[in-house]
Structure 1
Amino acid sequence: MNEQLHQTHTREAFYRRDRRSVALAREFTRNTLADWAITGRIDDVLLCVSELATNAILHGVPPGLGFALRLCIHRDGVLRTEIRDSGTGDLRKVRTPYRDLDADNGRGLMLVSMLADKWGVGERAPGKVVWCEFVVGYG
């Protein structure tokens, strides 16, 4: 195990309500995982960050505001990603990710629920936190 990861490490970034922010969040995540020498499940983590950031922009962030991405690696090898927004979205819809499979969109949370080891949503004032966790490997 990488010596620097004997304790919990956290990084956070803030993004504007802009579609380009999804790519920036993915890049921030990729760079953080490399800095932490995480080698496992990178594609799963990046896809989930993309989906959660997209949902925040489309459904959770009021005009003129943004969202925060928080990454945290714990001693036990669990990586937690959180997207925090200030929107007033319906938490019941977030908690039930399975949509009409014939629809053109609406599968993001279904992907997150299949790829992450755990995921969930919590309230915050204002807004919500959508999170997911992954057991990852180290380089």
Structure 2
Amino acid sequence: MRAARTFAVETLTEWGVADRLDDVRVCVSELATNAVLHGVPSGREFCLRLVVDGALVRIEVRDSGGGCPEVTHPDVDDEGGRGLLIARALADDFGVVPHVPGKTVWLVLKVG
């Protein structure tokens, strides 16, 4: 996950987008972690894509696994299940695009 976070922050900084980098770091980390834990079959990888359109940063993570991620609301004592909930709370928009195989999970953050 470190490589994905570093790539995102360095790329956006190079592109002149310095606002909300902490939020970007958290969102990239959560989407990448979910892809590795739930969406990448053995021997495959995920793809991180960043798109800047004016005051919007779109973070996309594509994997080749099945299923569709859902935002859950875990109990206080649960040890997991908060990642997508946190990322979704930070984001201004969220969605999933199905592919064959896999899916792209995306978040949009308003910057500037």
Partners of 1:121 and 1:28 in 2: CA distance? 22
Q: Classify the secondary structure of the residue corresponding to 2:46.
A: strand
Partners of 1:85 and 1:130 in 2: CA distance? 9
Q: Please state how far the C-alpha of 1:102 moved relative to its aligned partner.
A: 2.2
Letter in 2 for 1:112: A
**Equivalent position of 2:13 in the other structure:** 34
**Equivalent position of 1:81 in the other structure:** 59
Count matched residues.
112
Q: Please state how far the C-alpha of 1:120 moved relative to its aligned partner.
A: 1.4
Alpha-carbon contact 1:117-1:133 (below 8 Å) kept: yes
What percent of counterpart residues are identical? 48
Q: Please state how far the C-alpha of 1:39 moved relative to its aligned partner.
A: 1.7
Partners of 2:38 and 2:76 in 1: CA distance? 20
**Equivalent position of 1:128 in the other structure:** 103
Matches of residues 96-135 of structure 1 in structure 2 within 5 Å?
A: 96-135=71-110
Q: Please state how far the C-alpha of 1:121 moved relative to its aligned partner.
A: 1.3
Consecutive unaligned residues of structure 1, counting only runs of 5 or more, are 1-21
Q: Please state how far the C-alpha of 1:107 moved relative to its aligned partner.
A: 0.3
Consecutive unaligned residues of structure 2, counting only runs of 5 or more, are none
Deviations 1:11-48 (A, max 9, x none): xxxxxxxxxxx110001001111111112111001100
Bigger Rg, structure 1 or 2: 1
What RMSD in Å do the two structures reach over aligned CA positions?
1.1
Q: Residues 118 and 101 from structure 1, CA distance in 2 versus in 1: closer, same or farther, beyond 3 angstroms? A: farther
Partners of 2:26 and 2:111 in 1: CA distance? 15
Matches of residues 15-34 of structure 1 in structure 2 within 5 Å?
A: 22-34=1-13
Runs of 4+ aligned residues of structure 1 deviating over 4 Å after TM superposition are: none
